[in-house]
Amino acid sequence: MPGSHGNPYAQESLPPLTLDERNRMVEDNLPLVKFVASRIAGRLPPHVELDDLINAGVIGLIDAIEKFDPNRQIKFKTYAEFRVKGAILDELRALDWVPRSTRQKASRIERAFSEMEQKLGRLATDDEMVEHLGITHEEYDEMLAEARGIRLVSLDELHAENDENSERNLLEFLTNPDYIDPAEVLNLEQVYAIVADSIDNLPEKEKLVVTLYYHEELTMKEIGEVLDITESRISQIHTKAILRLRGRLLKTVVL
């Protein structure tokens, strides 16, 4: 019989989607795009327009619909969410919305958190950080406010050690297992393990904010209502937690 010597577990390719089917998938998944864009926008300075992020996300969604392979062991929503997020982050990188001065201040705080943790054998308090940095509490608060929107770690960009040209997109790892490099997977798993351990050791309020924001998926405003704290204060606590975690990661992985 023709094909009897082929792989008995092979799945036949499905016919391509019609234009109506693609349009319907776009409409059905627009709420996902708006949700992802809104969550990312909540971490960015106010001058970044939400509509711009949504437009970039829609392009990512269309790309996901075009490239999704239903034969792979991954749900479309999961695949689409990574594509949407990746498209939005690409747009932000193109805009270069984080000024160099902001990155420098964020890096200064990260290094300070790392240095103080090594020196003290524990997490540093705000007073200790201020003294170590040689600045006032007001200047410290201003630096944290400017650093808002700095990501914990660029999981969508994995670089081999000492090779900035080896950029690989996490989306490709998730959607095409043939691309997976064991060393890169090990590095990513190491990051997850360190982050999980570091979150467990955060000061109680920072740990609670991180948990509510990333695990419970509450907005900054909602967290403020739960804890009876202003939204700006929640944003500051979140930023401090992220920079503290990045300081811990500095000792182990390349960000």
Q: If you average pLDDT over every residue of the chain, what do you get? A: 77
Stretches in the chain below the pLDDT threshold 50: 1-11, 153-180, 182, 184-186, 254-255
Residues 123, 212 share a domain:
yes
Residues 112, 220 share a domain:
yes
β-pairing, 158-160 with 163-168? antiparallel
Question: What CA–CA distance (Å, rounded) separates 60 from 36?
Answer: 11
Question: Is the Cβ–Cβ distance between 71 and 123 less than 8 Å?
Answer: no
How many structural domains compose the chain? 2
CATH number for the domain harbouring residue 89: 1.10.1740.10
End position of a domain, from candidates 95, 128, 155 = 95
Percentage of residues in the chain with pLDDT exceeding 70?
72
Q: What is the DSSP letter of 215?
A: I
Residues 130, 197 share a domain:
yes
The encoded tokens of residue 82 equal 């990574």
Residues 76, 167 share a domain:
no
Q: Is 199 part of any domain? A: yes
Name the residue range of residue 23's domain: 19-95
Residues 204, 123 share a domain:
yes
pLDDT tens digits, one per residue of 136-171: 999 999 999 888 766 654 433 333 333 444 333 433
Question: What CA–CA distance (Å, rounded) separates 194 from 185?
Answer: 14
Question: What CA–CA distance (Å, rounded) separates 79 from 32?
Answer: 12
- Output the pTM of the full model: 0.57
Instruction: Give the residues across from 158 on adjacent strands.
Output: 168
Question: What CA–CA distance (Å, rounded) separates 26 from 83?
Answer: 13
How many CB atoms sit inside 10 A of residue 217's CB?
A: 10
